[in-house]
A and B are shown apart, each in its own frame.
Chain A
Amino acid sequence: MEAGSIAAGHALDGGHADDHGHEAHPPEAHRSSRVDPQMLGMLLFIISEIMIFGAFFTAYFFIRVVANDEWPAPEMELPVGIAGVNTAILLSSSLTLHWALTSVKNGNRFGLKAGMLSTFLLGAAFLSIQVNEYVHVGFAPSDHAQGSVFYGLTGLHGAHVFVGLSLLAMVTVRAWRGHFTEAEHRGVEIPGIYWHFVDVMWVVVYSSIYIL
């Protein structure tokens, strides 16, 4: 009881150390003097994402290089053309996102809103086409190892597109509410880096799975 009163007294008079040398308030967070905390969080997140994609690509290259299996499997027919159009759609969404950010930096509110909305719609179109592809592709993940890798890699990427779309939806709503200005637009910039990362991964996934 007495110790509790002493601790409460310390907390009231500015939070100095108690009898055990503990501070009455949490210490200041350690921060990098060179990297913004939000940017550092995205950096670490993307590094962990590259490792996850790396694990899936290891399975893909194991099948093709180590096991030397046929790719695609004899009964697999990949819709290269449709996926190519889908690739163009996704790459266009990076372009519109870049337009949105350039616009907000220049104080162009219309460009920000139009850019964000078109980015979201292009991303949603990509995901819808991919779901449609799954419905009509004609093989299941359990049919063969190639099918497992196909659904694994494209599905992992699709999940990232879904997460990216959720972020884009939030940014679009915030853009409409006027949350971003020429000086403060990190809320567009950081999800933008994530979206470009998702597009970079798709370029690698599409080239490996559909073309090579």
Chain B
Amino acid sequence: MLNPLRSEQEAFRFLLWVVGVVAVIVLVVLAARAIF
């Protein structure tokens, strides 16, 4: 399991994961707003 507090390597991977997840959430919300 990804533990961002175990090492810098995992913290960096966690940052990339957050960037990806937040980008998806933002796109979904913006798309939903445009449609409804």
A positions within 8 Å CB-CB of B: 39, 42-43, 46, 91, 94, 97-98, 101, 188-189, 192-193, 196-197, 199-200, 203-204, 207, 211-212
- Which residues does chain A contribute within 8 Å of B14, judged by CB atoms? 196, 200
Does B19 belong to the interface (CB within 8 Å)?
A: yes
Given contacts A39-B5, A39-B6, A203-B18, A197 and B11 within 8 Å (CB-CB): yes
Known A-B contacts A94-B15, A196-B15; A211 and B8 likewise in contact (beta carbons under 8 Å): no
Decide if A196 touches B5 in the complex (CB within 8 Å): no
Q: How large is the interface on B (under 10, 10 to 19, 20 to 34, 35 or more residues)?
A: 10 to 19
Binary CB contact string for chain B from 1 to 36 against chain A (1 if under 8 A, 0 otherwise): 000111111011011001100100110011000000
Give the chain B neighbours of A39 by CB distance below 8 A: 5-6
| Cα distance A97–B6 in the bound complex, in angstroms | 16
Known: A203-B18, A207-B26. A46 touches B12 (CB 8 A): no
- B4–A196 contact, CB under 8 A? yes
Nearest Cβ on chain A to B1's Cβ, whole angstroms: 15
A87 nearest CB neighbor, chain B only = B19
User: Contacts of B15 on A, CB cut-off 8 Å?
Assistant: 91, 94, 196, 199-200, 203
Main secondary structure of the interface of B (DSSP, over half): helix
23 contacts between A and B (CB under 8 A): A39-B5, A42-B5, A43-B5, A94-B12, A97-B8, A101-B9, A189-B8, A192-B11, A192-B12, A193-B4, A193-B8, A196-B14, A197-B4, A197-B11, A200-B14, A200-B15, A203-B15, A203-B18, A203-B19, A211-B26, A211-B30, A212-B26, A212-B29
* Shortest Cβ distance from residue A105 to the other chain B in the assembled complex, whole angstroms: 9
Complex Cα–Cα for A5 and B9 (A): 55
Cβ of A98 and Cβ of B26 under 8 Å apart? no
Are B22 and A204 neighbours in the complex by a CB distance under 8 Å?
A: yes
Which label, helix, strand, loop or mixed, suits the secondary structure of the A interface?
A: helix
Determine which residue in A91, A97, A207 has the highest number of CB atoms from chain B within 10 A of its CB, and name it: A207
Not counting A91-B19, A196-B14, A211-B30, a sample of 14 additional A-B residue pairs whose C-beta atoms are within 8 angstroms of each other reads: A39-B6, A43-B5, A46-B5, A91-B15, A188-B8, A193-B7, A196-B12, A197-B4, A197-B11, A200-B15, A203-B15, A207-B26, A212-B26, A212-B29
